[in-house]
A and B are shown apart, each in its own frame.
Chain A
Amino acid sequence: MAADSRSAILSAVRSAKVPPVDRPAAFTAGIHYADPALQFAESLQLVGGRCLRATTIADARAQLQATGLVTPERRICSLIPGIVSPTFHLDQVDDPHTLEDIWLAVLPGEFAVAENAAIWLPTDRIKHRVVPFLTQHLVLVVSSGEVVHNMHEAYQRLTLGARGFGVFLSGPSKTADIEQSLVIGAHGARSLHVVLCDEPAGAA
């Protein structure tokens, strides 16, 4: 029956008289900004996140400390060496369900998009891909030279097609389902800090 449905659908689709239309050329006329990093920071503020500009990882560490989020009595994990003091390592966790009480996760983002504050976050280096969604607070660290203007440039950079999971993440989790009142912290992270750091972050 399953095979029948497949061929029935494909033949119905094929027999539909649809005039041929050529594939359009890739759209490249996206907006450009004078200072994409500045635009990124402004876009991030609009979606409820905060951008920290840091020269070094040590500088980023001090700025994160000042946010008050780095509280050693709670569960903290990090894939960026030296930026916070983690209280546990993701690689030692087998069942993602035990991550329910993560307080803070610090993860590396690949690049940032100025027009909408999105960070491309591939999860191949994160053992449990649920971490950026389950953690109460999220910090993403992106190299300050890695800011593209718009989504067309973003997809030009990406090579999709290998097995894996990646997400464009823009701001903390939010909802406006109750009378259009914006509430930050729906199911996912309650806060998002993006560190644009001049010093490249080494992998943990």
Chain B
Amino acid sequence: MTGHPERAARFIELPQRAAWHDQSLWFVRARRDKAVRTLPEWESLREAAAAIKAHTVSKLADYLEEFERNATRLGAHVHWARDAHEHNQIVLKILQGHGVKRLVKSKSMLTEECHLNPYLEEHGIEVVDTDLGERIVQLANEPPSHIVLPCIHKKKEEIGELFHEHLGTDAGASDPQYLTEAARGHLRDRFLRADAGLTGVNFAIAATGGFVVCTNEGNADLGASLPPLHIACMGIEKLIPGPQDLGVFLRLLARSATGQAITTYSSHFHGPRTGGELHIVLVDNGRSRVLDQDDFRRSLNCIRCGACMNTCPVYRRSGGHSYNAVVPGPIGSILEPARDPARHASLPHACSLCGSCSDVCPVKINIHEQLLIWRRELAQQKLLPFTKRIAMTLTSALFQRPRLYAFAGKMGRMALRVLPRFMVYNRLNPWGRQRELPPAPPQSFRELYQIRHGR
């Protein structure tokens, strides 16, 4: 199985495109910075959010029960799913019970995690993703490459071709305004024909039994307000204690995600609408296991804003698909190995440990520290690739022997000076692949130190 380095290598085969991707995301990061600077209380907001999350997970079972009680009181049906498969079965059963043939969906990373779409399609249900970016990747038969900006990797010309093929837009047309208008017509038609709507959940409020869904397009609201059946799917970590906590999280979410002060629509659902039905599916799928791990518990704070992706030098230059994961980027490199360490063993190494992700995280997850801990875990579980294992063993042996280390340093400096180019720049030295090695200094640090301090 290929890992992140191999897939990233394919992404950077087109340097101009990689640079374009890098700049697109940096632009979003810059917008986030601008929005953050308008609020003097930003850092205390982050503290508050982290404290609310830490408290919530410490009483999560109580809050889940409180939420269930209140949601049921409001007339919603609450379901519990231990894993992805059970979640998919529950959703399918509800849909079949209502004779649903056509489902409109708004963005839900949880249903991506559970691979709900292919499951429903296998059972004869038409699923239309209605977030524009998600619809684009759905038509392209690709997974999203970013959790907030699903088709950030696509050029408008490619989207134009896709729309020409599927929606009948003019050949060669690539104007975003024109393409969005075409999608608007196409998707509004799907909303009107849908038998049921499925949404994700951004925040679920224990004290009221309601939940909040945030979008810019209005697709969640159209999907949940036209058909008579609404299904909302959420991980159990989406709970917050009360409505006043929403003030903190809604102020952080959009500013961190896109630099907006708030999303266009922050919709508060409390119970089904008159004559309609509302089902809420609570999903564990490994979350309770993470809850039990001191080192990784804080990863459950994540509100899926994507800020860590936009700032990550590795994500920006390697693209979301190189992670081969539902949630890519820094936070994904923690969440995904927690679900399947063998499959995602390369991800915690797709990181320079620069710490920028932790700096921008609105809920103060120590992302880069957790990535480092994951590297140790993976080494202990013997999940490192052979070359890395050998290199680590050799380096470790070297670092434990100061004299050998000094000697190796000397040899290395000499080798860089005297060896012919082909001996240094070859396939045994991955560090020489895309860069020139620096000129070897005449003295080592230790030699310099001795000279300057006369020891």
Interface residues of A (CB under 8 A from B): 2, 5-6, 8-10, 12-24, 26-27, 29-31, 43, 46-47, 96-97, 100, 115-118, 128-130, 132-134, 150-152, 154-156, 158, 160-181, 183, 185-189
**Chain A residues with CB below 8 A from B267, complex form:** 165-167
Known contacts A9-B288, A179-B24, A186 near B217 by CB under 8 Å: yes
B210 within 8 A of A: yes
> Would you call A13 and B217 a contact (CB within 8 A)?
no
> Would you call B81 and A166 a contact (CB within 8 A)?
no
Residues of chain B from 270 to 293 with CB closer than 8 A to chain A in the complex: 270-271, 273, 282, 284, 288-289, 291-292
> Would you call B130 and A187 a contact (CB within 8 A)?
yes
> Would you call A187 and B222 a contact (CB within 8 A)?
yes
Interface residues of B (CB under 8 A from A): 24, 27-28, 38-41, 44-45, 48, 51-52, 54-55, 57-61, 64-65, 70, 74-75, 79-82, 86, 90, 130-133, 136, 149-152, 154-156, 159, 176-177, 179-181, 183-184, 187-188, 191-192, 205, 207-210, 216-219, 221-222, 225-226, 236, 241, 243-244, 246-248, 250-251, 258, 260-271, 273, 282, 284, 288-289, 291-292, 294, 297
**Chain B residues with CB below 8 A from A134, complex form:** 222, 226
Partner of A167, one of B60, B64, B65, B268: B268
Residue of A nearest to B287 (CB): A13
Cα distance A21–B59 when bound, in Å?
A: 8
Given contacts A5-B86, A21-B54, A161-B243, could you give 12 more A-B pairs where the C-beta distance is less than 8 Å? A5-B80, A13-B64, A16-B292, A96-B225, A97-B226, A116-B251, A116-B260, A130-B225, A167-B265, A173-B265, A180-B27, A183-B180
Partner of A118, one of B191, B226, B266: B266
> Would you call B246 and A155 a contact (CB within 8 A)?
yes
Known contacts A5-B82, A177-B150, A164 near B180 by CB under 8 Å: no
Known contacts A97-B192, A187-B184, A179 near B264 by CB under 8 Å: no
Cα distance A21–B248 when bound, in Å?
A: 18
For the complex formed, measure the closest distance between the CB of B178 and the CB atoms of chain A, giving whole angstroms: 9
Residue of B nearest to A118 (CB): B262
**Chain B residues with CB below 8 A from A10, complex form:** 61, 64-65
> Would you call B48 and A27 a contact (CB within 8 A)?
yes
Cα distance A5–B87 when bound, in Å?
A: 11
> Would you call A179 and B268 a contact (CB within 8 A)?
no
Partner of B264, one of A18, A22, A29, A170: A170
Partner of A161, one of B183, B209, B241: B209
For the complex formed, measure the closest distance between the CB of A21 and the CB atoms of chain B, giving whole angstroms: 4
**Chain B residues with CB below 8 A from A132, complex form:** 221
**Chain B residues with CB below 8 A from A172, complex form:** 264
**Chain B residues with CB below 8 A from A168, complex form:** 250, 262, 265-266, 268
Known contacts A19-B58, A176-B258, A2 near B79 by CB under 8 Å: yes
Known contacts A16-B291, A19-B58, A27-B248, A163 near B261 by CB under 8 Å: no
Cα distance A130–B197 when bound, in Å?
A: 13
Cα distance A2–B94 when bound, in Å?
A: 13
For the complex formed, measure the closest distance between the CB of B124 and the CB atoms of chain A, giving whole angstroms: 23
Q: Can you give 28 contacting A-B residue pairs, CB < 8 Å?
A: A8-B82, A9-B288, A13-B61, A16-B292, A20-B58, A24-B51, A29-B44, A100-B192, A115-B261, A118-B262, A133-B225, A151-B247, A160-B205, A160-B210, A161-B210, A161-B243, A164-B270, A166-B267, A169-B264, A175-B180, A175-B216, A176-B216, A179-B156, A180-B28, A186-B180, A186-B216, A187-B184, A188-B221
